[in-house]
Amino acid sequence: MTAPPPSQPPPQRAAVLTGVGGCLPPTVVSNDELAARLDSSDAWIRSRTGIRQRYFAAPGTATSDLAVGAGAKALKCSGTPVVDAVLLATTTPDRPCPATAPTVAARLGLTGTAAFDVSAVCTGFVYALATAAGLIATGAAERVLVIGAETFSTLLDPGDRSTSVIFGDGAGAVVLRAGDPAEPGALGPFDLGSDGGREDLITVPAGGSRQRLSGVAPRPADRYFAMDGKEVFRHAVQRMSASARAVLDRAGWTPRDIDHLVGHQANLRITNHVADEVGIPRARCFSNIADVGNTAAASIPLALDQAHTDGVLRAGGRVLLTAFGGGLTWGSTVLTWPRLDRI
């Protein structure tokens, strides 16, 4: 009797980037406008953050509105209006319950599609990319729309100079499809991590179950975003650098192979320090923080959209993505930039 041939392992499925889009609210807020009420100056803000302006959503606008704008553009760029899942990375959902992603999906004509939020603050988009890649790898989805969207201006104390000059509102999105790990656009290995022991470094103290069940009324300041700037800077550089090196090792790439580092747009000095630590020339870092500020989970996809639109990201270029955020959380991945239409 002839033995049956050995079974072949199923082919690997990778998540391949096939569309990108962004959306910014129309209101531009300059440094001079903020400095007038913060006893500050444009020069002070630029020297410490690299930011000259940011965008704030107008009254009546919600995170879902920006997410729909970015998602629609990414879908158009990808050439198809249909996906199997919608993942929304955000720290500023429309409301605590329900999740905002189903609303976004419905407004994009995707009623019935799986949709859920991902919460990892500024690392949220990278976490969402990894989740979407898992859905595709297991066959649970063929195409996934991943959005990072924030209206961080709603969390800011207007009198806090340390935070109100940093953040802005916006949304960015990508479409992923199932494909081959070797083709352009395939997301490479991921490196993800967290350290909940330092949750106090980046936080909004009020509004959650811990505060509501404490029996103590929140102070006005507890309703706003707060962070320990010096400690966040140190941890951000350390964690992003280590994560970037780890994912390069897993991909078999070296820093010399990277054409563009697109990091979370937290602070221009952080980006430069990460590049130095990893060994990537600063000239290869793409940054749009000067024009949009820190848009938290939206920052990487917004940067990708602008870099693609401006022709900075070209087909065949090797790209490293890395992020750091509250939690603490961090994450990185790599890809070779595919050929995409410009919308």
Q: Is the peptide bond before 205 cis (omega within 30 degrees of 0)?
A: no
Pairing of the two strands 85-89 and 114-118: parallel
pLDDT at 65: 98
Rg of the chain over all Cα atoms, to the nearest angstrom = 20
Measure the CA–CA gap between 249 and 191, rounded to whole angstroms.
Answer: 10
Which listed residue (31, 267, 294, 308) is catalytic? 294
Angstrom distances, CA of residue 161 to CA of 36, 37, 38, 39: 11, 9, 6, 8
Residues of the chain with pLDDT under 70: 1-11
pLDDT at 162: 86
Which helix (H) or strand (E) is 137 found in, with range? helix 124-137
**SS3 assignment, position 132:** helix
Measure the CA–CA gap between 230 and 227, rounded to whole angstroms.
Answer: 9
Active site includes 122? yes
Closest among 88, 96, 165 to 129, alpha carbons compared:
88
- Does this chain's domain 14-179 share its CATH topology with 186-337? yes
Which listed residue (235, 264, 273, 308) is catalytic? 264
Cβ-count burial of 210 within 10 angstroms (0-12 exposed, 13-18 middle, 19+ buried)?
exposed
Domain ranges of the chain: 14-179, 186-337
Write down the CATH superfamily of domain 186-337: Thiolase/Chalcone synthase (3.40.47.10)
pLDDT at 259: 98
Active site includes 264? yes
DSSP E strands in 228-328: the ranges are: 260-263, 318-325
Which listed residue (31, 122, 285, 308) is catalytic? 122
Write down the CATH superfamily of domain 14-179: Thiolase/Chalcone synthase (3.40.47.10)
Active site includes 288? no
pLDDT at 39: 82
Pairing of the two strands 143-151 and 169-179: antiparallel
Residues in the chain: 343
pLDDT at 343: 77
